[in-house]
Chains A and B, each alone.
Chain A
Amino acid sequence: MIELKINNKSIQAEEGTTILKAAESLGIEIPNMCFMERYSNHPSCMICVVKDQNTRKLLPSCAMPVMNGMNIITEDEEIIEARKDTLELLLSDHVGDCEAPCKLSCPAHMDIPLMNRLIMEGSHQEALQVVKEDIALPLILGYICTAPCEHACHRKQVDDAVSICQLKKFVAKFDLDSKKIYFPEKNTPSNKKAAVIGSGPTALSAAFYLTRFGHEVMIFDKHAEAGGSLIKAVHDHTLPVEALYSEIDYLKDFGLKVQLNKHVKQEAFNDLKKDFHAILLATGSENSNQFSINQFDKQTYTTNLEGVFAAGSIVRKEKMAIRCVAQGKEAARSINEFLNGKSFTNKEKRFNSKFGKLLASEFDEYLKESTRDDRYTPENGKIGLFNMDDAIAEAKRCMHCDCRDRLNCDLRNYSEQYKASQKKYLFGKRNEIKKNIQHEFVIYETEKCIRCGLCIDITTKDKEHTGLTFIGRGFDVRMQVPFNYPMSKALTKTEKKCVEACPTGALAFK
C-alpha cells in the first residue's frame, strides 16, 4: 500500500492507483475530460492537474500513480489558473458555436434551431411550445419583430437568412387555429397575487409567465384597449388587429385578468400595494418617474420600493418589441423569486464558444445539413403567412448551427466554471470547419475535437477492425479514419461509447 496525503487527509491506496482515483475515494472531485475508466491510457487535456506540495510540481492526476509520501492538493490558485490556461488554449483551437448565432442574438434567446427542426418534422405544435418557452406573443412578434436573429443567421452569408420570424408566426397561427390550443402547464397555485400596470408587450409577456408560475395576475391599463404600444403597430398596418386580439384573448383564456380604463394613480397604487404581493410597472415610456420611484435596477427589475418592479420602456426606452417581451419574461422570473421568498439571482450568462463569420469555403460544409433552396417568402410578404409546405421547406433551410452537445459539453461546462475566455489566445487564422456526416447516426465535426484521443482508445480496445487514429503530430494532429475510409467503417459497434465519451461536440449523434 502507498501512503500519501490528499488535501491534508492521509490515505492509503494500492500501488498503481491514480491520484484521481485516490481522491475520488475521499470524495474529492477533480475535473477531467480526457479520462475514461479502463479506456484512456494517456493524459492529454491537462485539466486534471493537481499539485504535489513536496515538489511544487503540477501533475496530471488522471494518469499519475500515487507515490509514497506525496502531499497532494487538488485546488489552489495556481491549479485553478493552470486549468483555466488549459481551457483557454483548447478554446483557441476549438472552432464551433455552442449556440446558434440566431439564438444568441435573439433578445429572448428563443431556441430557434430547435423550432426549425420541429417544423421540418411537421411537429408544428411542439415547435410552438419551444417558442412559448421564451416568447409569450409569437403571433404578434411574427408581424412586428425586427428579427435580429435573421441578421445573425449564418445562412445569410450563403444566400439569404432563414425566415425565422415568419416560421415563428406560422407555428403561432397554426396553434391558435388548432382544435386544441397549447396552454403550458402552470405551477401549483401560490396564492400570491401580482398586479401588472400597463398592457403593452412587456406587461403581457410578464403576465403570461407570472400566470405560468402559479400566481394570480391582474393587468391594469388606463386605456380602453389592451395592447399599449402594440396599438400603434395596428394603426401603422403592420400588425393586424385580429392578431393582437387573438393573443390577448389567448392570455385571458390562460387565466390572467385584464382591467381596462383603470388609471392607476398614487392612491390606487397604494391600494394595489395592500391588495397585491407584487406590482410590476410596465407602463411604457410616457409614464416614468411616478409613485416616488426613483431607482431602477435593470439587472433584477427591482425598484427602490420593495415588491414593486419595473420593466420595459419605463426603465429605458425600448424600440424593439422583442426586447420588451424578453424583459417581461425576465421580470416575471424576478418577481416569482421574490414571491417565493428567494432573492433574485440573475441567470449567469452561459459560456459560449463562437467563431464569428463562416468562410466561403465552409458554405458547402454547412449546407450538408440543409437544402439549397432559395429563401421562401409568403404571399403578401411580411404581412402574409407561410403555407405549411413552404414553412417546412423554409425550416429545412436552417443549417443547425447550434452544437449538438451544448448541454453536456465538458469543455463548455468547465469553461464556464473556470471563467475561461476564448479570446485570450485567439490569434492567427482559424481552422476551416469540416463536417463528416457520412455515418448513418454519427456526425464528426473535426474542428471541435480537442484531440483527447478517447474515441481512438475506445475503438482500439473494443477491437473495431478499422477504428480511428491520430494522423500527424504537433499542433496539426487530428483524429481521423485510417485510409480515409468512411466513418461507417470505423464505427461499427462503438459509436455510442465514442459519442458519449467525447468531451465536446466533435462526435455526436445526428
Chain B
Amino acid sequence: MTTEITNRINQILQTYGGQPEKLIPILHAIQKEFNYLPEEALSQLCELSEITPSQVYGVSSFYSQFRHQKIGKHIIKVCVGTACHVKGSMQVLESFKRELKLDERQETDSKGLFTIEKVACLGCCTIAPVVQIDQITYGHVKIDQVAEILDDFLNQNGQSVEKVKNASENFHEIQGEIRIGLGSCCVASGSEGVREELEKTIQKSKLNVDVKQVGCVGVCNQVPLLEIHKKNEHPVFYSKIKVGEIKEVVHEHFRPQRKRDRLKTNFFNFFDRIASNQDSISLKRYSSNIKESPITEFLDGQINIATEFRGVLGPTDIEEYKKLGGFSAFNRAMKELSPDEIIDQIEKSGLRGRGGAGFPTSKKWKLVKNEKSDIKYIICNGDEGDPGAFMDRMLLESYPFRVIEGILIAAFATGAQKGLFYIRAEYPLAVERIREALKICRNEGLIGSNILNSGFSLELDVFEGAGAFVCGEETALIASLEGRRGMPVPRPPFPAHQGLWNKPTLVNNTETYAMVPWIIKNSAEQFNQIGSENSKGTKVFSLAGKIKRGGLIEVPMGISIRQIVDKIGGGMAGEKSFKAVQIGGPSGACIPASLADTPVDFESLEGVGAMMGSGGLVVLDEDDCMVDIARYFLKFSQDQSCGRCTFCRIGTKRMLDILEKICSGEGNENDLSQLAELSEKTKKGSICGLGKTAPNPVLSTLTYFRDEYIEHIHGNCPTGKCQALIQYDITDDCIGCTKCSQSCPVDAIEFKPYEKHEIDIDVCIKCDSCKQVCPSGAVITRSNILRNKVIAKGERLKQSVSN
C-alpha cells in the first residue's frame, strides 16, 4: 500500500512540483485520487517534498473542502445558504440524517454508501432548498422526498448516459436554433438531461436544428429554459421544461423528415392540453410576444453591462463574443490608449469595486501602476463565499471572455505580467469554463507573451480555492495563493504595495473586471450616466428568497429595493407579506419593508446600517424569524472566522452564545444590551473585514426588529421558527387524510382515517414534515410558552389542544 501511495504522490508532485506554495492544488489532487486525505499520503507528501508537516496539517484543516476521514461512496451536500436556510434546509438535513439513520455526530451511514455534508452555499439559490448528491443536484427539496431522492439518485447513478451526437451536419438548410441555458442553476435543474434529450430528438427526427448552449439567462427560477428561434419568427420560451416534454416541444416547431402523421397526432394532443389549460405537467410556456409575460417583466428594467448579451452568448464561443464586439475594448485600450488614459477613463466612469466595500477602482489601479517592481500580479477575486450570492459564479460561467478581457485591460493599465483567477472550489463549472476560455485565448494569442504583437505579456491561470469564506478578503486570498492558511493580515501594507510574494498586486472582484470592457468600448461618460450620484453604473445581484421570480439581475445603481422586489422579482410568492431584504450576506444587514424605498447604492445602504456586500439579495417574508436570521449569519461568520484575532474568534462566538440563548427562550433584557455592546466592540476591535462586518446582521435586526427579540425573551417566537419555542398542533381544519401520520418519522401522529389527527407533543421532534404535507393547512405551530412554564414548575401537564 505504501509503495502505491508513494507512487501516486510522486505522480502528483511531478504535475505540480513540490514547492510549499503548491500545497493547495496538491491537496486537491490527493483528495481527487483518494476521495479524502489519507494520513499516510500526507506524511509521504512531507517526505517527498519541501512541504512540512505543520504546513500540511495547518492548511488541510483550515479549508473545509479537505477531508481527513474516509467517506461514503457518495457525498450528499445539503446547501445551507441563506435562501436554502429560509426555505428549511436544516430540516432537510435532519430528514436525510434520519433516513440514513445517522446520529448527531455521524456523517457516514453504516453501509458506507452516503456521507452527508453541510455546504455553505451552492449558489443555486433560486431553486432552494438544494441538495447535491455527487454531481446530481436536486432543487426544491421537500423533507418527505428524501427517500425518493436517494432512490432516484441510486437509479440514475447506475446508468451510463448515452451521448448522442448531433446529426445536423447531414443537412444543408438550417431550420432554426434552440438555445438552452447551461448555468449552474440550469444544470442543477436538469438542463444537461434536457440538452441530451434535445440532441437525441433532433438526431432521431433528422432535423437540421442547431442546439446552442448559452450562459445563464438569469431567469433562474424558470429553468431549465428553452428558447426556440426560427428565422423571421418571434422566439418562444419554454420554462421549467422536463426531459419527457422535449419531443413534443421540438416537434411543435420543427417538422421531422418522416413519420409526419405521428407527429401530427402528438402535436394536436399537445395543443389540446395547452388550449384546455390542463397544466398537469409543470410545463408552462411563455412566448416573448406576450408583453406581460413574467420573463419579460423580469428582464425589463435591467441594464446589461456585465451581463451584456445574456442568453445569446455561448459561454466559450470566442468567435461569437468577438462578433458582438468582444475584445474590441482591449484592442482599443492597447492600441489607442496609454495606461494613464485607461485609468483616467475608469476614474471618469466612477466605477467602484464590486466586492462589497466600493473602493474606487481607478485609485487601486493607479497605486499598482505607480509601483516600481520587476513583477506585478493581477488577481481576479472569484471567491464568492457569501451564502445567498452567486453573481461571480454566473459571470465566470457565462461570460468568461468578458472577465478575461477586463483583466487584460487592467493588467495592461497597471503593468501586471502575471494573473490568477481565484475561484471557489464549490464552483466546478466556473473553473471548467474559465480554464477552457483561457485555453482558447492562449491559442488566439490573447494571453501569453507578446500579446497580438504588442509587446505586452500576461500569463493567466486558475487557482481553485478550498472552502474558506475569509479568503474573499484580499490579504487572506493572497495567503491562500501562497499555500498558507487563509489568515488576513492588517493593512497597510496594502496588496497594491506588497501583495502576492510581496510584489505589487491588483486584486479586483470578478464583477468589477466584467464592467471594464463595456466602459472602454462605450465610453466612461455613458457608464457614468447610469446610477446614482456616488454609485455609478450597474450592480449585479443574485435575487432569491420569498419572491415570485428569483435569478441573476443587473440593475442600475440607485434603483430602490421595492422596485427590485416588486417589479423584477414579481412581488412576494404565496400571498405572504414582504418583511425585509437581507442584503450583503453575512456582512450585510436586514432592511425592513418600511425602508424599501432606500436606493440601492453604496452610501444609501450604509446609511441604513447595511452594506452592498458582493450582491446577495434574499427577500424575507412574514414567516421568517429575524432573530433566527441574525443567528444564522452569525453562526456562518463564526464558522468562517480564521480564528486569529480575539474579537473575531471569541467575540462572535459569545454573540452567538447570547443569540442561542435568546432563540431558546432563555434570554433576558440584559442579554440584548450585552449583545449590542459586544457587536460594537467586535466591529471596532477586529482586524479584517470579516470580524468588522460580522455584527451587521445582528445590529440591523436589533435596530429594526427589536420587538421580535423582546418577544423571544418572553418565550415567544412570533413566526414559529425557533424550535425550542414552538409546538406543533392540528386544527379542526383537518380532513383526516392521514398524510401527516404517514409522513411522521417518529410516529407522533396516530393513523386515523377520516378523523381529526392529533400530535403527541412529547414524541414530536418538530421536523415540520406534517406541516409540509398537510393539504388543508391544518397543521400549525404555536408558541409553547405555557408548556415551558409548566415544565419549569416540574409538572408534566400537557397544554390542552383546545387552547
Contacts and interface: CB of A to CB of B under 8 A. Distances in A.
Interface of A: 42-46, 49, 58-60, 63-65, 67, 82, 85-86, 89-90, 92-93, 425, 427-428, 450-451, 453, 456, 459-460, 465-477, 480, 482-483, 485
A278 to B, nearest CB: 49
A42 B653 contact: no
Contacts of B651: 89
Contact of B58 (A46, A93, A469): A469
Contacts of A67: 492
Contact of B641 (A85, A465, A474): A474
Contacts of B55: 469
Interface stretch (B219-227, B356-364, B654-662): B654-662
Interface stretch (B304-312, B339-347, B482-490): B482-490
Contacts of B61: 470-473
A63 B645 CA distance: 12
A82 to B, nearest CB: 6
Q: Name the residue among A63, A89, A456 with the largest chain B CB count within 10 angstroms.
A: A89
10 contacts: A42-B489, A89-B646, A89-B647, A90-B646, A92-B654, A456-B54, A469-B57, A474-B642, A474-B643, A477-B643
Interface string B241-255: 000000000000000
Contacts of B489: 42, 63
B553 to A, nearest CB: 33
B237 interface: no
Contacts of A482: 53-54, 56-58
A470 B657 contact: no
Interface in B16-59: 39, 42-43, 52-58
Contacts of A465: 52-53
Interface in B455-510: 468, 470, 485, 487, 489-490, 492-493
Interface stretch (B188-196, B523-531, B680-688): B680-688
A394 B648 CA distance: 46
A468 B685 contact: no
Contact of A46 (B54, B645, B654): B645
Contacts of B649: 451, 474-475, 477
Contacts of B653: 93, 474-475
A483 B39 contact: yes
Given A58-B685, A473-B468, A475-B653, A64 B490 contact: yes
Nearest to A456: B54
Interface string B774-803: 000000000000000000000000000000
A415 to B, nearest CB: 13
B644 A65 contact: no
B657 A63 contact: no
Q: Name the residue among B52, B649, B651 with the largest chain A CB count within 10 angstroms.
A: B649
Q: Name the residue among B643, B647, B661 with the largest chain A CB count within 10 angstroms.
A: B643
A485 B53 contact: yes
B657 A468 contact: no
B399 interface: no
A475 B652 CA distance: 9
Given A469-B58, A474-B640, A474-B641, A483 B53 contact: yes
A475 B655 CA distance: 12
Contacts of B755: none
A43 B643 contact: no
Nearest to A424: B674
B644 A85 contact: no
B184 interface: no
A469 B661 CA distance: 33
Nearest to A478: B643
Contacts of A90: 646, 650
Given A90-B650, A471-B57, A451 B643 contact: yes
A50 B21 CA distance: 34
B647 A467 contact: no
Contacts of A44: 644-646
Interface residues of B, number: 44
A468 B52 CA distance: 10
A348 B620 CA distance: 55
A144 to B, nearest CB: 44
Given A63-B490, A483-B42, A466 B643 contact: no
A93 B646 CA distance: 10
Given A93-B653, A473-B468, A483-B39, 11 more contacts: A44-B645, A85-B647, A85-B681, A92-B654, A465-B52, A465-B53, A470-B643, A471-B61, A472-B61, A473-B643, A483-B57
Give me the 5 closest cross-chain CB pairs, A-B, nearest first. Answer: A477-B643, A482-B57, A469-B54, A482-B53, A469-B58
B502 to A, nearest CB: 12
A87 to B, nearest CB: 9
A470 B646 contact: no
B118 to A, nearest CB: 14
B638 interface: yes
B676 to A, nearest CB: 14
A42 B487 contact: yes
A472 B52 CA distance: 17
Interface string B628-640: 0000000000111
A46 B647 contact: yes
B57 A46 contact: no
A449 B661 CA distance: 26
A82 B61 CA distance: 31
B62 interface: yes
A115 B31 CA distance: 55
Q: Name the residue among A60, A427, A465, A474 with the largest chain B CB count within 10 angstroms.
A: A474
A92 B638 CA distance: 16
A469 B484 CA distance: 12
Given A60-B490, A467-B53, A472 B654 contact: no
Nearest to B642: A473
B54 A459 contact: yes
Contacts of B644: 42-44, 451, 453, 477
Nearest to A485: B53
A471 B55 CA distance: 10
A468 B55 CA distance: 9
B654 A427 contact: yes
Interface in B272-317: none
Interface in B672-724: 678, 681, 684-685, 687
A472 B643 contact: yes
Contact of B643 (A86, A428, A475): A475
B62 A472 contact: yes
A92 B657 CA distance: 12
B650 A92 contact: yes
Contacts of A469: 53-55, 57-58
A473 B685 contact: no
B473 to A, nearest CB: 13
Contacts of B470: 473
A63 to B, nearest CB: 5
A108 to B, nearest CB: 36
B634 to A, nearest CB: 12
Q: Name the residue among A49, A86, A456, A469 with the largest chain B CB count within 10 angstroms.
A: A469
Contacts of A427: 654, 657-658, 661
Contacts of A467: 52-54
A7 B601 CA distance: 39
Contact of B685 (A85, A456, A471): A85
Given A65-B493, A427-B654, A466-B54, A46 B646 contact: yes
B641 to A, nearest CB: 4
Contacts of B52: 460, 465-467
A294 to B, nearest CB: 43
Interface string B661-672: 100000000000
A90 B654 CA distance: 11
A474 to B, nearest CB: 4
A508 B485 CA distance: 27
Nearest to B39: A483
B638 A474 contact: yes
B640 to A, nearest CB: 7
B681 to A, nearest CB: 5
